[in-house]
Structure 1
Amino acid sequence: MTTPIYVGYYFTVTPLQPASDILIAELGAVGFESFVETEEGVEAYIQKQEWNDAILEGIEILSSDNFKITFTYEEIEQVNWNIEWEKNFDPILVDDICSVRAPFHKQPDVKYDILIEPKMSFGTGHHETTHMMIQHILENGFENKTVLDMGCGTGVLAILAEMRGAIAVDAIDIDNWCYVNTMENVTRNLAKKVQVFEGDASLLTGRNYDIIIANINRNILLEDIATYSKCLNTNGQLFLSGFYEEDLEIINAACERNKLKFISSKKRNNWIAASYLLK
């Protein structure tokens, strides 16, 4: 397989938060695939074939008076992404119960130990949304449930759902890097009940689940909430993340229109992970 050529952007951000999180979210929406948070700001990477010289014109935070953001960029060819993420990937521990780590990290004494090599994919557990979704999975019953992990990224949530007792898990992502990486991580964790698919919500026709997990972004969630509702079994649960606290009202309204009752939410650095129950 030919190694993709990437364009790398190097942002200096002042103050770092919440500007770095907002910047990452906006860059992800226009096609950037991988991010590294640094002491100065953010590194972001996009495949050259997806890039154009006007790619940043829609990034609103760059024109905000509340933050100072500068950047440089360059074309990068044949980067060893494993080396890049290994330099920046520390093991994650969630509530002293679940770890997310790389094979080169020491094995911790926890109930759920997930091994990943994220490469270019999103969802290492470092980001607030993934962390909170892991907490939702740990706090809710998954035994003998059928589960959908929509926008699966590295496959962490799908793998944990099986570890928590799910009998069948579908993991779906529209991004080929994520699709391939999830399959690799499913094999790495000996997950036997996770099936991985490349695509979007159009794949859900005729499928039904007890639990749906969707950690994507606000706009995609708003487009797909109706589909999620139709796919849920009676008393089915929906867990959503990838949006900010100020977006919770519009997300709740969309869920209410689709027979989904708001149950609770978690907040971490202005990011929200909410749970709903099919009425």
Structure 2
Amino acid sequence: MDYIELTLQIDADFVEILMAELGELGFESFVETEDGLEAYVQEESFDDVAVKQMLEDYAARTAISYQFKKIVRQNWNEEWEKNFQPIQIGEQIYVRADFHAPKPDFPYEIIITPKMSFGTGHHETTSMVMEHQLHLDHTHKKVLDVGTGTGILAVLASKLGASQISAFDIDEWSVENTLENIKLNNVSGIAVRQGTIEDEPEDIYDIVLANINRNILISQIPAYVTFLKEGGELIVSGFYEKDIADIQTVAESVGLKKVAQLSKNNWAAVVFKKLSE
């Protein structure tokens, strides 16, 4: 599956709102740059007319220029490796590519080759979900990773002691990438498949992870709850602080209670607990 890269040159004051607008139009990942923003969308989800119309509307309010580029599957690594640097999440997690030197002093070192998948830990949403994971007891727990991307959250769950992890993604390339990253990290207990929550086999999990986007979360949180045991935790991210109220309303309507929240650069990640009936 190929991607479309949108490169935007725009005033910093408009970067956040444009990420939100592009997210509504199907864009999955964003990289803030010195002069604006890079955004990525699967080619089959790219609506050229809608995106250009939205950008022209903003051009009436501020100086803006943009370019589109198709990134074919085999060139994805090259695109990411240009700027892919190791990151540290707190004092415990170190995320690197296989061409970076290891740092054995970190309790949890994760090796990620991103390929065409999203989720390297660099984006605020991924790093905040991982921060939340550090504060949940994963020992011998069952974990469901919704929209696994690179598999980074599933890998961390395994390193934190989870005994059984089910990870899925709608994108075939994400499934291939997750399997590769599982081998790179020498972890076990992770089952990976291509698909959606609708065809997830019936099972009950202690922890459900879903780093996706606002609209999908609002529509699918009721489904996630059916897979979550009483007292279990749901970690969600992929939305802005301003969206927390809408996410929380849906979560509370299906028996969840907010127990923790992180915010970074206007992005948010929230932990909910399933209440006893």
- Length-normalised TM-score, structure 1: 0.88
Tell me whether 1:272 sits opposite 2:265 in the alignment.
no
Which residue identity does 1:82 align to in structure 2? N
Would you say the 8 A contact 1:62–1:69 is kept in 2?
Answer: no
Instruction: State the match for 2:15 in structure 1.
Output: 20
Measured after TM superposition, the shift of residue 94 of structure 1 is 0.6
Q: Distance in 2 between matches of 1:66 and 1:162?
A: 48
Gaps of 5+ in 2: none
**Could you tell which deviates more after superposition, 61-70 or 165-174?**
61-70
Instruction: State the match for 1:203 in structure 2.
Output: 199
2:161 aligned residue (165, 170, 180): 165
Match runs of 1:1-279 below 5 Å: 6-15=3-12, 19-32=14-27, 35-56=30-51, 59=54, 63=58, 68-75=63-70, 80-108=75-103, 109-279=105-275
Tell me how large the CA RMSD over aligned residues is. Answer: 2.5
Gaps of 5+ in 1: none
Aligned length: 274
Measured after TM superposition, the shift of residue 236 of structure 1 is 0.8
Which residue identity does 2:251 align to in structure 1? C
**Could you tell which deviates more after superposition, 116-125 or 47-56?**
47-56
Q: Distance in 2 between matches of 1:92 and 1:237?
A: 26
Change beyond 3 A, Cα 1:78–1:164: closer
Which residue identity does 2:8 align to in structure 1? F
Which residue identity does 1:129 align to in structure 2? T
Kindly report structure 1 stretches of 4+ aligned residues shifted beyond 6 Å. Answer: none
Would you say the 8 A contact 2:110–2:152 is kept in 1?
Answer: yes
Which residue identity does 2:270 align to in structure 1? A
Measured after TM superposition, the shift of residue 80 of structure 1 is 2.3
Measured after TM superposition, the shift of residue 63 of structure 1 is 2.6
- Length-normalised TM-score, structure 2: 0.89
**Could you tell which deviates more after superposition, 37-46 or 183-192?**
37-46
